Amino acid sequence: QTQLVQSGAEVRKPGASVMVSCKTSGYTFTHYAFYWVRQAPGQGLEWMGRISGNSGNTRYAQKFQDRVTMTTDTSTKSASMELRSLRSDDTAIYYCVMEGAAAGTVYWGQGTLVTVSS
Amino acid sequence: DIVVTQSPLSLPVTPGESASISCRSNQSLLQSNGFNYLDWYLQKPGQSPQLLIYLGSYRASGVPDRFSGSGSGTDFTLKISRVEADDVGVYYCMQVLQGGTFGPGTKVDIK
Protein backbone atom coordinates (compact mmCIF):
# COMPACT_ATOMS: atom_id res chain seq x y z
CA GLN A 1 0.00 0.00 0.00
CA THR A 2 1.36 3.37 -1.02
CA GLN A 3 1.97 5.86 1.77
CA LEU A 4 3.33 9.40 1.77
CA VAL A 5 5.06 10.68 4.88
CA GLN A 6 5.93 14.35 5.13
CA SER A 7 8.49 16.13 7.24
CA GLY A 8 7.54 17.70 10.55
CA ALA A 9 6.16 21.08 11.48
CA GLU A 10 8.32 24.17 10.89
CA VAL A 11 8.44 27.67 12.33
CA ARG A 12 10.08 30.44 10.34
CA LYS A 13 10.48 34.20 10.56
CA PRO A 14 9.22 36.47 7.78
CA GLY A 15 11.67 36.60 4.89
CA ALA A 16 13.09 33.15 5.56
CA SER A 17 12.73 29.97 3.49
CA VAL A 18 11.28 26.58 4.30
CA MET A 19 11.62 23.18 2.69
CA VAL A 20 9.00 20.47 3.12
CA SER A 21 9.84 16.93 2.11
CA CYS A 22 7.68 13.97 1.20
CA LYS A 23 8.79 10.34 1.23
CA THR A 24 6.86 7.54 -0.39
CA SER A 25 6.72 3.86 0.37
CA GLY A 26 4.99 0.99 -1.33
CA TYR A 27 4.71 2.54 -4.80
CA THR A 28 6.20 0.22 -7.40
CA PHE A 29 5.28 1.87 -10.71
CA THR A 30 7.64 4.08 -12.69
CA HIS A 31 5.16 6.76 -13.76
CA TYR A 32 4.04 9.31 -11.22
CA ALA A 33 3.92 13.01 -10.45
CA PHE A 34 3.72 15.12 -7.34
CA TYR A 35 1.78 18.21 -6.68
CA TRP A 36 1.63 20.46 -3.65
CA VAL A 37 -1.45 21.94 -2.05
CA ARG A 38 -1.70 24.27 0.91
CA GLN A 39 -4.46 25.19 3.30
CA ALA A 40 -4.34 28.29 5.46
CA PRO A 41 -6.06 28.07 8.85
CA GLY A 42 -9.82 27.75 8.36
CA GLN A 43 -9.50 28.25 4.62
CA GLY A 44 -9.85 26.17 1.47
CA LEU A 45 -7.35 24.23 -0.60
CA GLU A 46 -4.86 26.02 -2.83
CA TRP A 47 -2.94 24.30 -5.62
CA MET A 48 0.70 25.40 -5.69
CA GLY A 49 2.30 23.43 -8.48
CA ARG A 50 3.19 20.09 -9.98
CA ILE A 51 6.34 18.18 -10.88
CA SER A 52 6.57 15.15 -13.12
CA GLY A 53 8.39 12.28 -11.48
CA ASN A 54 9.87 11.06 -14.74
CA SER A 55 10.89 14.22 -16.57
CA GLY A 56 11.21 16.61 -13.66
CA ASN A 57 9.11 19.12 -15.59
CA THR A 58 7.40 21.61 -13.33
CA ARG A 59 4.34 23.79 -13.54
CA TYR A 60 3.82 26.36 -10.81
CA ALA A 61 0.76 28.42 -10.00
CA GLN A 62 1.43 31.97 -11.12
CA LYS A 63 1.03 33.18 -7.55
CA PHE A 64 4.07 31.19 -6.41
CA GLN A 65 6.13 31.29 -9.61
CA ASP A 66 8.89 33.49 -8.19
CA ARG A 67 9.14 31.93 -4.74
CA VAL A 68 8.73 28.17 -5.05
CA THR A 69 10.91 25.31 -6.23
CA MET A 70 9.72 21.72 -6.44
CA THR A 71 12.09 18.82 -6.85
CA THR A 72 11.82 15.07 -7.00
CA ASP A 73 14.21 12.18 -6.48
CA THR A 74 13.43 9.37 -8.89
CA SER A 75 15.56 6.85 -7.00
CA THR A 76 13.42 7.15 -3.89
CA LYS A 77 10.22 8.52 -5.45
CA SER A 78 10.33 11.40 -3.01
CA ALA A 79 9.63 15.08 -3.41
CA SER A 80 10.50 18.39 -1.82
CA MET A 81 9.04 21.86 -1.99
CA GLU A 82 10.95 25.00 -1.06
CA LEU A 83 9.11 28.27 -0.47
CA ARG A 84 11.17 31.43 -0.11
CA SER A 85 10.61 34.96 1.14
CA LEU A 86 8.00 33.77 3.59
CA ARG A 87 5.23 36.05 4.81
CA SER A 88 2.77 35.66 7.63
CA ASP A 89 0.05 34.69 5.16
CA ASP A 90 2.14 31.68 4.13
CA THR A 91 1.18 30.11 7.44
CA ALA A 92 -0.63 26.96 6.37
CA ILE A 93 -0.67 23.20 6.22
CA TYR A 94 1.26 22.07 3.17
CA TYR A 95 0.22 18.80 1.56
CA CYS A 96 2.22 16.61 -0.76
CA VAL A 97 0.08 14.69 -3.27
CA MET A 98 1.23 11.88 -5.53
CA GLU A 99 -0.53 11.05 -8.79
CA GLY A 100 -0.11 7.42 -9.70
CA ALA A 101 0.20 5.91 -13.15
CA ALA A 102 -3.48 5.02 -13.42
CA ALA A 103 -6.16 7.68 -13.62
CA GLY A 104 -7.85 8.23 -10.29
CA THR A 105 -4.85 7.05 -8.31
CA VAL A 106 -3.98 9.78 -5.86
CA TYR A 107 -2.20 9.61 -2.54
CA TRP A 108 -2.03 12.42 0.01
CA GLY A 109 0.52 13.04 2.70
CA GLN A 110 -0.52 13.86 6.23
CA GLY A 111 0.31 17.54 5.83
CA THR A 112 3.04 19.75 7.32
CA LEU A 113 2.20 22.85 9.32
CA VAL A 114 4.41 25.80 8.46
CA THR A 115 4.08 28.79 10.78
CA VAL A 116 5.54 32.13 9.78
CA SER A 117 5.82 34.51 12.70
CA SER A 118 8.22 37.12 13.97
CA ASP B 1 -6.12 30.83 -15.46
CA ILE B 2 -9.11 28.57 -15.00
CA VAL B 3 -11.45 29.73 -12.25
CA VAL B 4 -13.71 27.25 -10.51
CA THR B 5 -16.79 28.12 -8.50
CA GLN B 6 -19.10 26.00 -6.35
CA SER B 7 -22.60 26.32 -4.98
CA PRO B 8 -23.89 26.25 -2.41
CA LEU B 9 -21.05 27.05 -0.03
CA SER B 10 -22.97 25.56 2.88
CA LEU B 11 -25.33 22.60 2.71
CA PRO B 12 -27.21 21.24 5.72
CA VAL B 13 -28.46 17.75 4.95
CA THR B 14 -30.86 15.25 6.49
CA PRO B 15 -29.58 11.67 6.84
CA GLY B 16 -31.19 9.41 4.28
CA GLU B 17 -31.94 12.20 1.83
CA SER B 18 -29.99 13.23 -1.27
CA ALA B 19 -27.76 16.24 -1.72
CA SER B 20 -26.20 17.89 -4.75
CA ILE B 21 -23.28 20.27 -5.18
CA SER B 22 -22.68 22.29 -8.32
CA CYS B 23 -19.27 23.16 -9.76
CA ARG B 24 -18.62 25.51 -12.67
CA SER B 25 -15.46 26.51 -14.50
CA ASN B 26 -14.86 29.54 -16.70
CA GLN B 27 -13.34 27.34 -19.41
CA SER B 28 -14.39 23.99 -20.80
CA LEU B 29 -12.75 21.06 -19.06
CA LEU B 30 -13.70 18.66 -21.85
CA GLN B 31 -10.78 17.45 -23.89
CA SER B 32 -10.78 15.95 -27.38
CA ASN B 33 -10.26 12.53 -25.81
CA GLY B 34 -13.76 12.77 -24.39
CA PHE B 35 -12.70 13.15 -20.78
CA ASN B 36 -13.62 16.00 -18.48
CA TYR B 37 -10.68 17.03 -16.31
CA LEU B 38 -12.61 17.64 -13.12
CA ASP B 39 -12.17 15.84 -9.80
CA TRP B 40 -14.16 15.88 -6.56
CA TYR B 41 -12.64 15.64 -3.10
CA LEU B 42 -14.00 15.34 0.41
CA GLN B 43 -12.04 16.69 3.35
CA LYS B 44 -13.35 15.32 6.61
CA PRO B 45 -12.57 17.31 9.77
CA GLY B 46 -8.93 16.99 10.76
CA GLN B 47 -8.02 14.82 7.77
CA SER B 48 -6.28 15.12 4.44
CA PRO B 49 -8.64 15.35 1.47
CA GLN B 50 -9.72 12.12 -0.18
CA LEU B 51 -10.53 11.63 -3.85
CA LEU B 52 -14.15 10.75 -4.55
CA ILE B 53 -14.62 11.27 -8.28
CA TYR B 54 -12.09 11.71 -11.08
CA LEU B 55 -12.47 12.74 -14.71
CA GLY B 56 -15.91 14.08 -13.94
CA SER B 57 -17.77 10.86 -13.34
CA TYR B 58 -15.51 7.99 -12.32
CA ARG B 59 -15.62 6.88 -8.70
CA ALA B 60 -12.25 6.42 -7.03
CA SER B 61 -11.39 3.08 -5.52
CA GLY B 62 -13.34 2.33 -2.36
CA VAL B 63 -15.84 5.15 -2.77
CA PRO B 64 -19.45 4.08 -2.13
CA ASP B 65 -21.81 4.14 -5.09
CA ARG B 66 -23.90 6.68 -3.17
CA PHE B 67 -21.52 9.23 -4.63
CA SER B 68 -21.86 10.10 -8.30
CA GLY B 69 -20.44 12.77 -10.56
CA SER B 70 -21.99 14.12 -13.72
CA GLY B 71 -21.69 16.99 -16.15
CA SER B 72 -19.47 18.06 -18.99
CA GLY B 73 -17.68 21.11 -20.31
CA THR B 74 -18.14 23.83 -17.72
CA ASP B 75 -20.95 22.51 -15.50
CA PHE B 76 -20.63 19.61 -13.12
CA THR B 77 -22.59 18.09 -10.25
CA LEU B 78 -21.71 15.85 -7.34
CA LYS B 79 -24.67 13.94 -5.98
CA ILE B 80 -24.75 12.16 -2.66
CA SER B 81 -27.61 9.70 -2.35
CA ARG B 82 -28.87 8.54 1.02
CA VAL B 83 -26.61 10.89 3.00
CA GLU B 84 -24.96 9.39 6.07
CA ALA B 85 -23.54 11.12 9.13
CA ASP B 86 -20.04 10.13 8.02
CA ASP B 87 -20.42 12.21 4.83
CA VAL B 88 -19.96 15.51 6.69
CA GLY B 89 -17.02 17.65 5.73
CA VAL B 90 -15.99 20.05 3.00
CA TYR B 91 -16.38 19.01 -0.61
CA TYR B 92 -14.10 20.52 -3.24
CA CYS B 93 -14.11 20.29 -7.00
CA MET B 94 -10.78 20.69 -8.72
CA GLN B 95 -9.94 21.27 -12.35
CA VAL B 96 -6.89 19.35 -13.51
CA LEU B 97 -6.88 20.42 -17.14
CA GLN B 98 -4.37 23.23 -16.75
CA GLY B 99 -2.31 22.69 -13.64
CA GLY B 100 -4.89 22.67 -10.90
CA THR B 101 -7.49 24.92 -9.33
CA PHE B 102 -9.79 24.11 -6.45
CA GLY B 103 -13.24 25.48 -5.97
CA PRO B 104 -13.95 27.33 -2.72
CA GLY B 105 -15.49 24.27 -1.07
CA THR B 106 -18.97 23.31 0.09
CA LYS B 107 -19.40 22.59 3.78
CA VAL B 108 -21.83 19.74 4.33
CA ASP B 109 -23.21 19.14 7.79
CA ILE B 110 -26.16 17.36 9.34
CA LYS B 111 -29.32 19.30 10.06
Residue B1 touches chain A, beta carbons under 8 Å: yes
Q: What is the pLDDT of residue B93?
A: 98
pLDDT at residue A102 above 90? no
Q: What angle do CA B107, B77, A51 make, to 5 degrees?
A: 80
**pLDDT higher than threshold 90 for residue B110:** yes
Distance CA B52, CA B42 (A): 7
Q: Which residues of B touch A110 (CB under 8 A)?
A: 48
Please indicate whether, in this complex, the C-beta atoms of A106 and B51 are within 8 angstroms of each other.
Answer: yes
Instruction: Give the per-residue pLDDT at A60.
Output: 97
- The pLDDT assigned to A25 comes to 87
A30 pLDDT more than 90:
no
For residue A80, is pLDDT > 90?
yes
Give me chain B's average pLDDT, please.
97
Check residue B80 and give its pLDDT: 98
For residue A54, what pLDDT is reported?
Answer: 84
* Contact indicator for B59, B68 with CB cutoff of 8 Å: yes
Q: What was the pLDDT predicted at A26?
A: 84
Q: Identify the pLDDT of residue A48.
A: 98
| A101, pLDDT greater than 90 | no
Per-residue pLDDT of A47-65, as tens digits, reads 999 999 888 899 999 999 9
B10 pLDDT above the threshold of 90: yes
Residue A66: pLDDT band (50, 70, 90) is very high
Confirm if B93 and B101 have CB atoms less than 8 A apart: no
Residues of B with Cβ-Cβ distance to A104 under 8 angstroms? 51, 54-55, 58, 60-61
Q: A49–B92: do the CB atoms touch at under 8 Å?
A: no
- Is A34 part of the contact surface with chain B (CB cutoff 8 Å)? no
Whether A111 and chain B come into contact, CB under 8 Å, resolves to yes
Across the range B44-52, mean pLDDT stands at 96
The pLDDT-based confidence of A76 (bands split at 50, 70, 90) is confident
User: Cα angle vertex A79, ends A53, B59, to 5°?
Assistant: 65
* Cβ separation B99–A61 shorter than 8 A: yes
Cβ-Cβ contacts under 8 Å for B102 (sequence gap 6 or more):
A37, A44, A45, A46, A47, B4, B41, B92, B93, B94
User: What is the pLDDT averaged over residues B61-88?
Assistant: 97
Residues A25/A5, Cβ–Cβ less than 8 Å: yes
Task: Report whether pLDDT(B17) > 90.
Answer: yes
